[in-house]
Amino acid sequence: MIRLIRQSSIQKFVRPQPQSQLLLRFNSQKINFHKPDKAYSNERSDAADAAATILSELHDEKVHPNKATWLDALKQREKFQAEGKTLDSYSYIDPITTAVGEKTRSDSFSYLILPFKDDKWLCDAYINAFGRLRVGQLFQDLDALAGRIAYRHCSPAEPVNVTASVDRIYMIKKVDEITNYNFVLAGSVTWTGRSSMEITVKGYAFEEEEITHIENEESLSEENVFLSANFTFVARNPLTHKSFAINRLLPVNENDWIDYRRAESHNAKKKLMAKI
């Protein structure tokens, strides 16, 4: 027997409190869509397509309608195919500019705050049945944040940035009891080729302080690092479907150069191994 339950009753029992509601996996919104010009934002509308998991506060979805539905994107793809064209991305259909300039690591620096210690509802979304960290969930956020970083480095151009590989992930410390920590995921571009870039993202765990804003990478202490990951992204021209030349990275201090040379050596090794 099927029982009918009023919608208001369902909301009463299963809907989390508005101030703690998670909006980590919801659709991006229309305003400033896919233009993450700042290192961090509470607005989902500021998140790039690849970074739609960036943490945000509760928004009224009726006030800010979705950019497009899946059916809208599907119809657009069918329209392009009928014209003999290929649609790689519903949002990125014009690279805006092909001009190549120089950018520093601070230009692409981005971060994501995961206040597990301060927000029990957020913490609940990141633990498994045994109360430990769901690492796979965290890896999704790492890739999403890397997408935001890639977008900021390539701007003002808007190529289609694709995750080519996840090269190295190091779990430096064990942090199973995430209820005792506030996490920060932060990173930047550490090396660039003609159309590819290596992005380093680190995870930081803080036991005491409440974190609301981070100025730059230097303000994050290495002693709090529990995870380090390296991503390789490649840029593609949405019109020609060929490689897209991106901004060159300009190291400005000794640490930048150390990371740049290390990444350069690693990428040279990958190319050599591919020829064997």
The domains of the chain, with CATH numbers, are 15-275 (3.10.129.10)
pLDDT digits (tens, 9 = 90+) for 209-260: 777 788 888 889 889 999 999 999 999 998 888 899 999 999 999 999 999 9
Quick one: 196 exposed, middle or buried, by C-beta within 10 A (0-12, 13-18, 19+)?
middle
The reported pTM is 0.72
Q: Specify the higher pLDDT residue, 83 or 256.
A: 256
Strand partners, 238: none
Q: Which helix (H) or strand (E) holds 124?
A: helix 120-124
pLDDT (0 to 100) of residue 62:
42
pLDDT digits (tens, 9 = 90+) for 130-151: 888 888 889 999 999 999 999 9
Q: How far is CA 111 from the centre of its chain?
A: 9
Q: What's the one-letter identity of residue 10?
A: I
pLDDT (0 to 100) of residue 87:
65
Strand partners, 127: 133
CB atoms within 10 A of CB 184: 21
Of 139, 184, 172, give the one whose Cα is nearest residue 40: 184
